[in-house]
Structure 1
């Protein structure tokens, strides 16, 4: 027997013939179930689904990111939903983030076409007074008009995230005049090339700086002079060829440095910069001869590995567990599965290959230990 698909009866879609840029619109779909149960109702823009209602699932209302469309779930029902800002062209998009809520702002500009990304029910919308957001390639946001929802204010904004692709060449100027409590800045997948301490001077509260997948070539030794509270720095996938260890020396709170997929070949000395707080330096695929990942003693407990004559002291911050095992030729006195577990937590499951090799080394050490024990008994 062939499967039978039953469709809705008397379906009628009501949409406006035209709408001005930035206006709200209602999209209505009317239908007759004839006493049956609805399985799902979906809305599409072209071939891309942006709204779904499935009454038997939780949550029953879902939205999906489609450029140019934001769906307000609180105004949506089975038949009707309200769409914000059906933009057609020329917009520059950013996201800002508070401690507990992800909010959004839209900045109208001259050189970029894009669309909303749905981030939740709390939306924070800002429009530029001027259509010109770029001046000589520099992003300026001095003249933002803000429209707050949910009782939010500029003081609630803790993070800045750029959604632009290949458009930003400099960290936005005057951002601190609008959002005075920023603790996080993220600009990725763009054209950042040169960063100077003056670009970061206005953000003394900054804790997280995420500038991965750009074209940064130089990290100056005084870059973080005015950012003593930095805890996490992501500089992955740039074109950085050299970083002085002293660059991070005055960052007393630094915990994580992500430097993978650059051109650096020498990372020696990093462990001495902030050994009290630094937990992780990742340098995968940099052409370096030393280990891919440096870990602090938090991940290798004291007296776990027995060194041979060539290694009087294991340098935890300059070697991966795997590299340590290789150099020590598996001269293991005691090695537990806890190390592999900590390694997995440290890598956040992203470097499963290394974790697997560590686990294999652990199994091998246990096997050798059992064979040695059996041999002694024999």
Structure 2
């Protein structure tokens, strides 16, 4: 019977390397809850990023409000979150079986997720311990990276065509070819605004973002950021593009790049747990583009997972780590032997010194005729 893929799980490469080093040194211990196996590599990485954000007190879904983490300030969390969101390197685990999948569901070994998005496993999965499931199951792994790709070489341009302008802002949007005024309409950025609102802590900014979502209030803006990676990553989670066949790349989105000689807003950006951003009024922004004060470049992009090696089995990894532990033990034993040999040499030298001190002193040798002279009577 052919192998059926149950799902995928992703470890951030940096985290995996740290755990792997601990296991090779014999110091590995991790308490892993029952693991989710997503339907594709891209879904697995997305789930891992969402879980990382959740643990840091943020959320990457507009259906759950972020839960603050006690004892951690926004600034500290934001730095870690930036790393988690923009980290491109992952280890992808793939769970496969030759068993009847329906029967495994009946037995409770796996539990299907809603809308065929993968499975939850009833028991924890230990990456460095052989999989212990009845029947024919296997797990393999591969290194992978997730990066935005630009499948279409050309792009749309509006406004100024001047190059190398010092100020650049970015915004991800759904891929629609529209007139400029409709392209920048706030309603097209509603999913992104809702995502920022779910993570917001500042009450005044909450009101402002809510007004933007409701298209009401004195000021309505679209959120611009200074990093294209941040813009594309947030756009991916906000707009939830569908995935292609194979689950290694998403459908397309648009990346809007605004270039200008001067700052669009002289005030500092608002610091959100997700990122720092400016709320810029699209009407004024459109006017500046039409007046050639701002250049707008629209590129099509998609998020793509690329495998950087071939899959290898979990047993290969387990055996490699066992070999590394044995080599480590061998080195430690060799160090112990060398230390003991050096200590033995020192002790032997001490024994020789003590033995010399214990030996009786040799008697002096008398000179010839000295005894007769000593005994002769005086004249």
Which TM class, normalised by the smaller chain length?
A: under 0.3
Q: Decide which structure has the larger Cα Rg and report it.
A: 2
Task: State the TM-score, normalized to the length of structure 1.
Answer: 0.20
Which gives a bigger RCO, structure 1 or 2 (Cα 8 Å, sep 6+)? Answer: 2
